[in-house]
A and B are shown apart, each in its own frame.
Chain A
Amino acid sequence: DAKTTQPPSMDCAEGRAANLPCNHSTISGNEYVYWYRQIHSQGPQYIIHGLKNNETNEMASLIITEDRKSSTLILPHATLRDTAVYYCIVPVTGANNLFFGTGTRLTVIP
C-alpha cells in the first residue's frame, strides 16, 4: 500500500467538526483513499473512500487535495461515540487486501 502519514492523536470538542488529516504523497493516479475507524475492542468500520473528487455520505465528508497528495476526513458534528482510531489507507491498485497503519486516535471531549 502507498504510505500514509497521520497524526497519532487528536482531540475534538463534542458538537464541533473533527478534521482528520492524512498525507499520501506517493499516491498513484488510480489509487483510491479509504477511511476506516475502529472503536475500542470492536472490528473496524468502513467510513468513506474517494479517488479525486470530494465525497460525502451519512457518516463523513472526504476532501482530497487537487494534487491528491493529502486528504482530510471531516466528521461535521462529532459525538462522544465518534471516539475511535481512524485509519487512512491507500491500497495498491489491484490489491486484494488492506493493510492498516497506526491511524489517528480521535478523542471527542464533552
Chain B
Amino acid sequence: GAVVSQHPSWVICKSGTSVKIECRSLDFQATTMFWYRQFPKQSLMLMATSNEGSKATYEQGVEKDKFLINHASLTLSTLTVTSAHPEDSSFYICSARVGGTGANVLTFGAGSRLTVL
C-alpha cells in the first residue's frame, strides 16, 4: 500500500535554531500534502496544505514565515520550523492523498516529534 515516510522521527534542538522535517511519498506521487501539528493530549490541527510547484496554503493563525513549506517535487514536501522556541515543541505529522482512492482518503506519516530546549 501507499507509504508516507517522515524524517526525522524525533529531533531535539536549541531555542533559536531551525529544524527541517521531510515528508516523502515512497511509492506514489503526491501533488498535495498536508501538514498537521498535535500537542500532547490534543487532536491534530491542520497547519497547511502543501502544493507541488506552488505556494502552500496556510490555515488561519499559522505563521507562514515561521513554518516554511516547500513542495519541490511530486514525492517530497518539507516543513522548516524557523527560529524554533519551546512553544513549538510538538508532534508534526504529514499526509498525502493517494490517487484513485476516495477524495479524503489520506495516508499519514509516522510523525516527527520536535522538542525545543
Contacts from A to B (Cβ < 8 Å): 32, 34, 36, 38, 41-46, 49, 85, 87, 89, 91, 95-103
B51's closest neighbor in chain A, by CB?
A96
| Given known A-B contacts A43-B111, A44-B93, A102 and B43 have beta carbons under 8 A apart | yes
Query: Which positions in B face A, CB cutoff 8 Å?
Result: 4, 6, 32, 34, 36, 43-46, 49, 91, 93, 95, 102-111, 113
- B49 lies within 8 A of A46 (CB): no
Give min CB distance, B93 to chain A, whole Å: 5
A32-B104, A96-B32, A98-B104 as given contacts; A42 in contact with B49, CB under 8 Å? no
B34 touches A97 (CB 8 A): yes
Given contacts A43-B111, A97-B34, contact A91 B43 (CB under 8 A): no
The chain A residue sitting closest to B98, CB to CB, is A46
B residues near A49, Cβ cutoff 8 Å:
102, 104-105
Q: Given A34-B104, A101-B43, are A43 and B49 neighbors across the interface (CB < 8 Å)? A: no
Known: A32-B102, A96-B32, A98-B34. 15 other contacts (CB 8 A): A38-B44, A43-B4, A43-B93, A43-B95, A43-B108, A43-B110, A43-B111, A44-B93, A45-B108, A46-B105, A46-B107, A49-B102, A89-B104, A100-B43, A100-B45
Determine the distance from Cα of A99 to Cα of B40 in the docked complex, in whole angstroms: 17
Q: Are B110 and A42 in contact (CB under 8 A)?
A: yes
Report whether B46 and A98 are in contact in the complex, using a CB–CB cutoff of 8 Å: yes
Q: Which residues of A contact B95 (CB under 8 A)?
A: 43-44
In the complex the two chains form, is A98's CB within 8 Å of B106's CB? Answer: yes
**B91, B106, B113 interface centre (most CB from chain A within 10 Å):** B106
